Chain A
């Protein structure tokens, strides 16, 4: 005599299933870890490339056009095509996903770092020069800190976008939670698809808040004028949305 089939949410294929969470904890944890690694490494790589590019574009005016043009061109390529175009170079590897995501983050990072540097008040720069600061010291201690809020806005958008885009890496087997979504689609496993999707959004929100916290810590002078900032925030927030290019898919 065979045992009757278990009547739990896994057998019923429910969208929300506690049984799924408890039995697949390790799988979920591994996927979250891979997702975080891919996202963080790629945005960090993007930052390492973007900072010198932005500094170059500021020093040599004629490079602004090409730098912004090329990074925007890269940003236009759809993610599935981007990962596929990198296939001959990196094969089915995590590196492929990291390089693809880093290339996407360049547009947002370079634009915002440049905008931040250009927004440094002339008075602050002249004061630094008057105090005898050399170009390097002026850049490190005056200009970069003042450019930080705008640069951080770009970093936050780039990070949140990267979390969402990592899922497409499932096409080459390195998509973090995207792998679970892909596998869940093929087996019609609803709980797995929903859980992984929700975790993606949670990761994006958590990373965004962490970066916001880091920004607060790094710019203590901005806390003093909080009330004034709150008043001007609504308008500035709306304006920034339009300055940023659309989301990537």
Chain B
């Protein structure tokens, strides 16, 4: 097939990998954006989710946040943020949109993880005289960890996808190769960019899968 060999040619041309618009630079942007936003959203979502889960409050919040999140198009939020005064500040619209959409999976999974801790275990810990804080840190959080990790995996893969979409509003990352390909009307470049993004997303998923499988027992637990 003609397109296939053209895509291969694009991917194996060294000039496409170096420089400001090269694959390496775009990959670096994509990685930085993904992990910076993952850290930021985890910093916001996890303390809230673990506290609410421990107290047993806010279940409706967790459910509704996840439901509403699905109905809101990421692309629309990216463009809306771009047109606000924030849009003049470089990457901020992208970062805010990414963090906003990474919070629901982190929050719901951590919350459910805390809620699903076996109540007999909780009662036993209380019977041993543990205080609320001790119970949370020594019993509930370790038992909830598999689901927390699942939330982090879902958020990370989603961040890779959202970072790709950010290219549509002028953000960096691998998506830029695709949008540039569309602007040049170059199908080989569009497809080559898509292959790179797809491989990156699948590798991210596989990496987390590996962590979940190889991690010590208490981390793995009953993840999924």
Which A residues are closer than 8 A to B by beta carbons? 73, 76-82, 84-85, 87-88, 157, 160-161, 163-168, 170-171, 178, 181-182, 184-185, 188, 190, 193-194, 196-197, 200-201, 204-205, 208, 234, 237-239, 241-242, 245-249
State the CA gap A77–B164 with chains docked (Å): 10
**Contact between chains at B161 and A242 (CB < 8 Å):** no
Known: A73-B202, A76-B201, A79-B161. A164 touches B72 (CB 8 A): yes
Known: A78-B160, A205-B71. A245 touches B154 (CB 8 A): yes
**Contact between chains at A241 and B191 (CB < 8 Å):** no
**Contact between chains at B70 and A241 (CB < 8 Å):** no
**Contact between chains at A167 and B59 (CB < 8 Å):** no
CB pairs A–B below 8 angstroms (11 shown): A84-B191, A88-B191, A163-B73, A168-B75, A181-B79, A200-B73, A201-B71, A246-B157, A247-B70, A249-B101, A249-B162
For residue B172, CB closer than 8 A to chain A, the reply is no
For residue B210, CB closer than 8 A to chain A, the reply is no
Most A C-beta atoms less than 10 A away, residue of B69, B79, B197, B201: B79
For residue B141, CB closer than 8 A to chain A, the reply is no
Task: Name the residue of chain A whose CB is nearest to the CB of B161.
Answer: A78
State the CA gap A193–B83 with chains docked (Å): 9
Known: A77-B201, A200-B76. A247 touches B101 (CB 8 A): yes
Q: Mark B99-137, 1 if CB is under 8 A from A, else 0.
A: 001001100110110010000000000000000000000
In the bound complex, residues from chain B placing their C-beta under 8 Å from that of A166 are: 73
Known: A76-B202, A84-B190, A197-B80. A241 touches B73 (CB 8 A): no
**Contact between chains at A193 and B79 (CB < 8 Å):** yes
**What is the predominant secondary structure among interface residues of chain B facing chain A?**
helix
* Shortest CB distance B221–A (Å): 13
Task: Name the residue of chain A whose CB is nearest to the CB of B150.
Answer: A242
Cβ-defined partner of B115 (8 Å) among A181, A200, A238: A238
Query: Which B48-84 residues have a C-beta within 8 angstroms of A?
Result: 59-60, 62-63, 66, 69-77, 79-80, 82-83
Cβ-defined partner of A81 (8 Å) among B1, B4, B101, B201: B201
12 further contact pairs, Cβ within 8 A, besides A73-B202, A85-B194, A197-B73? A76-B201, A82-B198, A84-B178, A85-B191, A88-B191, A165-B73, A171-B182, A181-B73, A181-B75, A194-B80, A238-B112, A246-B105
**Contact between chains at A164 and B155 (CB < 8 Å):** no
Most A C-beta atoms less than 10 A away, residue of B1, B195, B197: B197
Known: A80-B168, A170-B75. A164 touches B70 (CB 8 A): yes
Cβ-defined partner of A163 (8 Å) among B71, B115, B150: B71
Instruction: Give the number of residues in B that approach A within 8 Å (Cβ atoms).
Output: 59
**What is the predominant secondary structure among interface residues of chain A facing chain B?**
helix
Which B residues are closer than 8 A to A by beta carbons? 1, 3-4, 59-60, 62-63, 66, 69-77, 79-80, 82-83, 101, 104-105, 108-109, 111-112, 115, 147, 150, 154-155, 157-158, 160-162, 164-165, 167-169, 175, 178-179, 181-182, 187, 190-191, 193-195, 197-198, 201-202, 205
State the CA gap A167–B109 with chains docked (Å): 27
